[in-house]
Amino acid sequence: MKLSSYPKLAVRLTPKIWRRVSGRVVGRWQRVWRDALASSIAAVVTWFLARHLFGHEMPLFAAISAIICLAPGLPSHSRQAVGILVGVFTGIVVGETVLWLPPDWRLVQFALAPFLAMIVASSYGLPVVVPIQAGTSALLVIAIGPETAGEARMLDVILGAGVGLLFSQILITPDPLRTIDGAARELLSSLADGMEGCAEALRHQQPSRSEAALIGLSDAHRSIVSMNSSISNARDDAKWSLRGRFMAAEVRDIAARYDRHAIRLYAASVLFADNLNYVLRESGGPVPESLIVRVETMADILRHMAEGDPLNMPAGSDAPPDYPRLQAESAAWVVCYHHLDLVNKALKAFNPHEVRQG
């Protein structure tokens, strides 16, 4: 079976896309390997301590708790540790309370214990790990008894969460700047994808490609949401961790800059793509070569910034070089230039490298 018989698949597997996908995967590995390694080491340490301190032959809950506290991608390891403790305690209390029902009501106990535990845990207003741990703990109490899933599990969880806090707050304190940078690069990478799509649409004068690029840029809103969450977590880390206190001023400046300009950059990019799609569909005339070059340049700048390379931003201008001819032939292309210039100005304001240098 030949790949050429599937043209859509062949387009998706071009070397350029392979490089882009592989680059993203490697970037994700680079962001998570430290937390993954810390989780594994903490699990081993917790297992050893639980066996020697409490005499537990199979302290699975202790090791699992350490991994849950330090797992990659968590917004806050300390909140996760507190959430596990609160959730497990709530589930054990609710589970042992439900055990007061007659033994003949076994199925009722199985249904009632996790339900009540998750309802109670949800009332705290804490992260989602709290009701999850509460429901699981209550179910374990009913299934294997409070002797195994009650006090013994609580001790294991306390130990696992304690080791997790030790690792996260002292040994591997999270870098709040890296947290924000990771979210910023994700946003810039999404915008670079969209701008590359706009450049291809202009080069081939295909409205379908510009529409796909517009959809892609609109989906970058998820990166904005992720960035807002990362900024909030970085501010918490700067307030509550020892390492964060030393870089609190820099975190505050970068977070404030991203707060102001991230949504502006996103909105300018979407407006440009929307206007470009409109002009291509309405046949705004031959595409100016200078516009194609500018869009390709903007896509390259976004891509390099997403990869962490500092670049000198182009100055930009409100009017394109061939403004008189364009205004006479098609004012629509002039509007595209203006929207692209807004993207350029927003990117200059957002540029993280200027923050570091300034």
Question: pLDDT digits over 19-34, tens only?
Answer: 767 777 877 787 778 8
Q: pLDDT tens for residues 71-120?
A: 887 767 777 888 888 998 898 889 888 988 888 888 898 999 999 999 99
Neighbours of 238 (CB within 10 A): 23
Confidence grade of residue 176 (pLDDT, cut at 50, 70, 90): confident
Neighbours of 250 (CB within 10 A): 15
Residue intervals in the chain for CATH 1.20.120: 176-357
pLDDT of residue 327: 52
* pLDDT for residue 199 is more than 90: yes
Q: What token pair was written down for 39?
A: 């989780």
Q: How far is CA 105 from the centre of its chain?
A: 44
How many separate helices (H) and strands (E) can be counted in the chain? 17, 0
Write down the CATH number for the domain with range 176-357. Answer: 1.20.120
Confidence grade of residue 121 (pLDDT, cut at 50, 70, 90): very high
* pLDDT for residue 358 is more than 90: no
Q: Judge whether 285 and 333 are in contact, CB under 8 Å.
A: yes
Sign of the alpha-carbon dihedral angle for 240, 242, 243, 245: positive
pLDDT of residue 123: 92
CA distances from 50 to 58, 68, 156, 158, 171 (A): 9, 17, 7, 10, 20
Q: How large is the average pLDDT for residues 174-198?
A: 87
Q: What token pair was written down for 130?
A: 């709290």
* pLDDT for residue 9 is more than 60: no
